[in-house]
Amino acid sequence: MKNKSIAFGITGSFCTIKEVLKCMEKIVQNGYDIFPVLSNAVANMDTRFITSAEIKKRVSEICGKLPIDTICGAEPIGPKNYIDIMLIAPCSGNTLAKLNLGVTDSPVLMAAKAALRNNKPVLLAVSTNDGLSNNAKNIGELLNKKNIYFVPFSQDDYINKKFSLISDFSLILPAIESALSGKQLQPLLLKG
């Protein structure tokens, strides 16, 4: 599976982005070529967890290329067909809902649309506080869509955040390899 190209989308679950950047480093170390793609929020918002400038700097250092941060920048992924898989990590609830409904209003969603256009897998590493409430329907529907895969997930903090879901980011690499083989990594639901 090495020497494959990945469009790596980062969306606004800001509390997990530093952990996701470590996963990005590991993916590069395993021989994958990453084309980083940032959502509008990630490209433009500073939060208490991380600034947009810090994200762009780290992503550029890890991947050796500037992140794609506009819809126009992501659009050529479709016609040029230069990726093997799209990974969205973290995948926010907002992105889950829009992907399920076919909304393409950010660079990450445009890249996902481009991957699906070319019959390529789209792998989602969910991180959302409403995975077992408002977004449960979207997760269920996405599970039944062609070429959509999930990094296995569990409840984030079932006592204090009973609707929250988070993927096990340590499973991103095996989930990529599984999705590239056309299979959902199992078990999908992990014990929290």
Please check whether residue 105 is in contact with residue 98, taking contact to mean a CB–CB distance below 8 angstroms.
yes
Print the domain residue range for 90. Answer: 5-160+173-180
Does a structural domain hold residue 168? Answer: no
Inform me whether the pLDDT recorded for 1 exceeds 70. Answer: no
* Mean pLDDT (whole number) for 48-58: 96
Structural domains of the chain, count: 1
Two structure tokens written together for 145 = 């869509």
| Residue closest to 12 by CA, chosen among 112, 110, 111, 129 | 129
pLDDT in tens, 92-132: 999 999 999 999 999 999 999 999 999 999 999 999 999 99
Does a structural domain hold residue 190? Answer: no
Does a structural domain hold residue 185? Answer: no
Q: Give residue 20's pLDDT.
A: 97
Please check whether residue 38 is in contact with residue 15, taking contact to mean a CB–CB distance below 8 angstroms.
no
- In whole angstroms, what is the distance from residue 129 CA to residue 165 CA? 6
Does a structural domain hold residue 191? Answer: no
Inform me whether the pLDDT recorded for 82 exceeds 80. Answer: yes
Does a structural domain hold residue 101? Answer: yes
pLDDT in tens, 128-157: 999 999 999 999 999 999 999 999 999 988
Q: Give residue 3's pLDDT.
A: 81
Does a structural domain hold residue 83? Answer: yes
Q: pTM for the whole thing?
A: 0.97
* Mean pLDDT (whole number) for 48-69: 97
The enclosing domain of 65 has a CATH number of: 3.40.50.1950
